[in-house]
Amino acid sequence: MSVNIALAPYYLAPRFQIRFATADDLEAILAIYNAEILNGTANWNDQAVSLADYQQRFQSMQQQQFPMIVVEDQHRQQVAGYAYYAAFRAISGYRQSIEHSVFIDPGYARQGLGKALMQQLIHLAIQQNMHIMVAAIDSENKGSIVLHEQLGFVQTGYMPQVGQKFGQWRDLVWMQLQLTQA
């Protein structure tokens, strides 16, 4: 990562390490992402993403100085989850508002990894002088909503039936965290 920001010390089980993602991680990241696309409702895409497309996304994020981080299982030497944030909207007035995503391999669910990644994203966003972090969450993803509330996010919107996944209309919950004082 070329931007001058640093990860906060965060204590996980000794087998896990949070670090900045590299291009070498993209295949593992893509496997987690595409599994969610094909099997879950946390992401409303309905087509798997190619490695070339994800490499381009990663490169674009690097150029814009947006971080992508991974949590690695050091015993297995594999990516257990990843997280990133990017521009909330591509309009200059939103330049200090970001939207984030966190994905955990289902084999590592409920081990606190998502929370650890979120705490790191918040830490990094504050270092980059971001003002608002936005979350767009499927309304049935109660675990994610509760996690965001625990981290200080508040619900700021609810949009019924704005998306589809697996032939069903999905409701979207908007949450946000204010990172700096107005």
pLDDT tens track of the chain, all 182 residues? 445 788 877 667 788 999 999 999 999 999 999 999 999 999 999 999 999 999 999 999 999 999 999 999 999 999 999 999 999 999 999 999 999 999 999 999 999 999 999 999 999 999 999 999 999 999 999 999 999 999 999 999 999 999 999 999 999 999 999 998 86
- Cα dihedral sign, 122-140-154-96: positive
CA distance 124 to 8: 8
Cα 136 from chain centre: 10
Q: How far is CA 168 from CA 144, 157, 161, 163, in A?
A: 20, 20, 9, 8
> Structure pTM?
0.93
Q: Across the chain, how many H-helices and E-strands are there?
A: 4, 7
**Cβ 29 vs Cβ 37: under 8 Å:** no
**Cβ 147 vs Cβ 120: under 8 Å:** no
